[in-house]
Structure 1
């Protein structure tokens, strides 16, 4: 391993205080290049690097490698190890529309649940809650009873240690109350397994997979999609989802455009004409 690479790894570990996992990822990406070419990374030209990394056909994997290389060369420039910054362009990845379910499809899944037992009622309430709140599953499972105040939900364990308050549909709150009364558990947290312990991510995944055939995160996408196609302002949706950047939320506008396109194709007489 070259001296420059060792200095970079020490920098991101000590000065930047990145996690051990992140440091190991950088080390793996960059040392692999040096070992393959048997040369210090700092001496390599852009075309050599691109040729070496071209073996990665998965564009997301390739971009991760390129990101590591760019971070290394930026560090070298700032430390005066090199006189110019080598910046490699990322591979273009086509934007994929997030998968989502319609409210009708969610209702069909809910109709399959036997709500005569508290476990069934829990599953019913959980699915309704995820669709009504747009909460991430980690945020959902960390909720305590005091986090629901009337028709408002206080999400305290959000991504990036941020908090937010979002409205919660009356129906979701009603079904949660029924589930809590049926369960008989007097726990601070809301979502319990059959033993009365906190529900796990795996269990939550099995619940939504069983009745809807999707992961819990798809219900978050469904929540956002319903709001956007219903005419909600993009910045309001950003706040409700807890996105730090509007760019993250903007992917849902593609769904809105697709919805508009399909409406025109179905309803406008000229859309059916052929040249």
Structure 2
């Protein structure tokens, strides 16, 4: 019947979730907790029937979730979003099951969780990881050191680094051609530390790896695996994690951590944020015209003065 009692409708919906949709016990418990809190809020507002709930009522409930009350602490955006999703599902079910004539929650959007950037590593931690990567002096260790130096020295994404060919690196000019998202290319300066590590790898390490069984299929690849094939993203990730463990760096480290550290250290060194965005390949509609004014020469100049490993 239209305009059913809220409490009874909540029980009907929970039965539907448990019996017809077969939700797991923990998931069902979360729905029950969220909807009981919603039911209590509506009762506090004097709302007893579903057709009396308005969009403003649901929005007010979202505000209550974020602000908290005497019985509940404020919820994070993620937790509040989960509760709003439960409320939206409840009202959608109520309309489809004939328990209500309208859906007041349809236009109420869950809050967007704040994107958390990884914390930049201190320069000392980065240097310890780089040293640990190449400490063994084997062909694989030379590759690992070169790979991590390139990742930190250019801010490259892991996919961009493993996708490099030998010809993409201009060791005379000190630049590397990176191919980013959407096949967009950008020319990025490479510091002397990274160039030295790559030179050592190309001279001593890569020729050994290139004799593997898969070498013919990856003749031009810069970073090779032990069989001579192109290094994969997963293997490159493992290289960094193992180097961090050997260096005694206890915080979680990923290739994006090095990319974020690259950007943070440049900004700390006085680099203009527009230059850093260009180096990272973060072009946007509103800043594209600005980026076109940034030449390779100016990138090289800022990189050389701001990046901690740009010069020996």
TM-score by length of 2: 0.52
Q: Deviations over 1:108-158 (max 9, x none)?
A: 2233333421001111111111110000001111111111123111112x0
1:131 maps to which of 140, 152, 173: 152
Q: Does 1:199 align with 2:231?
A: yes
CA 1:59–1:207 in 2, change beyond 3 Å: closer, same or farther?
same
Q: Does 1:232 align with 2:274?
A: no
* Distance (whole Å) between structure 2 residues aligned to residue 238 and residue 189 of structure 1: 27
Answer whether contact 1:131 1:222 (CA < 8 A) is retained: yes
CA 1:97–1:136 in 2, change beyond 3 Å: closer, same or farther?
closer
- Tell me which residue corresponds to 2:28: none
* Distance (whole Å) between structure 2 residues aligned to residue 232 and residue 48 of structure 1: 46
Shift of 1:102: 2.3
Q: Deviations over 1:142-179 (max 9, x none)?
A: 111111123111112x0233221111112212211221
Secondary structure of 1:154's counterpart equals strand
2:119 maps to which of 81, 99, 113: 99
For structure 2, the residue ranges without an aligned partner over 5 or more in a row are 1-34, 36-52, 66-74, 89-105, 288-312
- Tell me which residue corresponds to 2:184: 162
For structure 1, the residue ranges without an aligned partner over 5 or more in a row are 1-35, 37-42, 70-84, 249-275
Query: Bigger radius of gyration, 1 or 2?
Result: 2
* Distance (whole Å) between structure 2 residues aligned to residue 134 and residue 58 of structure 1: 31
Answer whether contact 1:46 1:88 (CA < 8 A) is retained: no
Shift of 1:192: 1.1
- Tell me which residue corresponds to 1:7: none
Answer whether contact 2:223 2:230 (CA < 8 A) is retained: yes
- Tell me which residue corresponds to 1:210: 242
* Distance (whole Å) between structure 2 residues aligned to residue 137 and residue 64 of structure 1: 32
Q: Does 1:221 align with 2:239?
A: no
* Distance (whole Å) between structure 1 residues aligned to residue 164 and residue 231 of structure 2: 11
Equivalent residues in 2 for 1:261-272, closer than 5 Å:
none
Q: Deviations over 1:186-222 (max 9, x none)?
A: 6211111101111112211111111125111111011
Shift of 1:104: 1.9
Answer whether contact 1:238 1:246 (CA < 8 A) is retained: no
Equivalent residues in 2 for 1:12-91, closer than 5 Å:
45=55, 47-48=57-58, 59-60=77-78, 86=107, 88=109, 90-91=111-112
* Count of aligned pairs: 197
**CA-based RMSD:** 4.1
Shift of 1:51: 6.2
CA 1:178–1:245 in 2, change beyond 3 Å: closer, same or farther?
same
- Tell me which residue corresponds to 1:149: 170
Shift of 1:183: 2.4
Answer whether contact 2:221 2:230 (CA < 8 A) is retained: yes
CA 1:117–1:247 in 2, change beyond 3 Å: closer, same or farther?
farther
CA 1:63–1:147 in 2, change beyond 3 Å: closer, same or farther?
farther
Answer whether contact 1:100 1:225 (CA < 8 A) is retained: yes
Q: Deviations over 1:55-94 (max 9, x none)?
A: xx76348659989x9xxxxxxxxxxxxxxx936363563x
